[in-house]
Amino acid sequence: MNNFSWRLIPWGVVFIVIALSAISVINLHSTGIGTDSQVHITQLVWLAAGSVLMFVVAMIDVRIIRQLIPVFYVAVIITLALVLVIGKEVNGSRRWLDLGFAGFQPSELAKLAVILSLAGWFHRVARPDGYGLGDLIPVALLLGVPMFLVLKEPDLGHTLMLLFIGGTMVIFEKLQRRAFISIVLTALFIAPGLWTFVLHDYQKNRILTLLDSDGDKLRTGWHARQARIAVGSGGFLGKGHGSGTQVAGEFLPENHTDFVFAHLSEEHGFVGGSTVLLLYFLLVLSALRAAARARDRFAAGVAIGVGALIFWHVLMNIGMVLNILPVTGVTLPLLSYGGTSALTVMVAIGLLLNIEVRRSMFQSRLS
């Protein structure tokens, strides 16, 4: 925390986080009208705690962060393994550890572990001429272990999220042509095996329903169909706060978590939905800008990872709501209800702030 100055904080990023958090609380309040649900209050508490964590992470010396990466990664792997043994089972999946006062989802922290560990590895092992296949074996292990444990829960959505975040970080590094072609061909080769031997029947049905959304309206296709109705019925300005009929009529399941964007669009229309998308776009743009201006490979890698986390979450969640991607249970950053998710995203933003603050401090010392 040496020489830290609050004036160096990129307050534009903080404003985006505050705006998304405020929209989240207001939107979640609406989902609880008529049911006495207080999810918006709980979410406010988590977001407030996350804000504190965000600023704490922003102030930590980056050298301390790099030193703690192995410890953090191992701790996350241990908690992922514990979930499979003593985790709380809900709808046939073990994804949470019961802490008594709240549920804890280690797969959320796995995203941070992947971002930090891969950024640290690329920082230590530089290949100016590009990374070959042999160089990427440690990367595959760092990414593959948490992916395997999350898939065993089973949780396809977060498994894909880890893959997309890690894959994005790899793509932004320089790869040898042979290594890139080999990765693509390997992915195409194993895809049929994943479909046949890895995916569960309900996961296959979700993908098939995407191809024929009218094929199973009352079961697998119910969520996506009702979400699409909610978005379309909102029109340009929406029906107004608390006036959404899809939630009031209990037609839209998981309206406070997975399908929170559908509820937002129904009540606030195209304007509300576009505003949220603009805020996410600015957040991802801020991450890319931080990566472009980063002082070293570690900072650039972390910024790319944070940007990928936000981008893929938004793409997969809203794609699911609009029925152009299969239902995977991926939440919308900061907007969806969930303590572990909110804290994870806030810490990720804290890392982004840290990168920008350290860069500004370095420039101040040079001037």
DSSP 125: S
Give the pLDDT score at 257: 78
Tell me the residue length of the chain. 367
194 falls within a domain? yes
Residues 6+ apart with CB under 8 A from 210: 224, 323, 324, 325, 326
**To the nearest whole percent, how much of the chain has pLDDT over 70?**
87
CA distances from 333 to 13, 44, 201 (A): 14, 14, 28
The CA distance from 100 to 162, in Å, is 27
Give the pLDDT score at 181: 86
Alpha helix (H) ranges present in the chain? 11-31, 39-59, 62-86, 106-124, 137-151, 156-171, 177-193, 201-211, 222-233, 245-248, 260-293, 297-321, 339-366
Provide mean pLDDT across the span 83-110. 84
Residue 275 backbone class (left: φ over 0; alpha: ψ -120 to 50; beta: rest): alpha
The CA distance from 206 to 213, in Å, is 9
The amino acid sitting at 265 is S
First to last CA, the chain: 21
**To the nearest whole percent, how much of the chain has pLDDT over 90?**
52
| Residue 133 CB burial class (10 angstroms; 0-12, 13-18, ≥19) | middle
1 falls within a domain? no
33 falls within a domain? yes
Give the pLDDT score at 166: 95
360 pLDDT band, cuts 50/70/90, is confident
Mean confidence (pLDDT) of the chain: 86
Give the pLDDT score at 6: 84
The CA distance from 219 to 183, in Å, is 36
Provide mean pLDDT across the span 106-124. 96
pTM, to two decimals: 0.90
Give the pLDDT score at 274: 96
Strand partners for 103: 98
Give the pLDDT score at 341: 93
Give the pLDDT score at 345: 97
164 falls within a domain? yes
Strand partners for 214: none
- Helix axis angle for 137-151 and 106-124, nearest 10°, is 180
65 pLDDT band, cuts 50/70/90, is very high
Nearest C-alpha neighbor of 253 from the set 263, 240, 264 = 263
Give the pLDDT score at 34: 57
**Do 264 and 28 contact (CB within 8 A), yes or no?**
no
**Do 141 and 174 contact (CB within 8 A), yes or no?**
no
- Whether 4 shows a pLDDT value over 80: the answer reads no
Domain with 77 in it:
6-366
- pLDDT tens for each residue of 254-300: 677 788 998 899 999 999 999 999 999 999 999 999 999 998 999 99
Lowest mean pLDDT among 95-109, 204-218, 232-246: 204-218
Up-side HSE of residue 333: CA atoms within 13 Å toward CB? 32
160 falls within a domain? yes
- Whether 35 shows a pLDDT value over 70: the answer reads no
87 falls within a domain? yes
Give the pLDDT score at 195: 66
Give the pLDDT score at 94: 83
Residues 75, 81, 84: CA angle, nearest 5 degrees: 145
127 falls within a domain? yes
Strand partners for 90: 93
Strand partners for 89: 94
Number of domains in the chain: 1
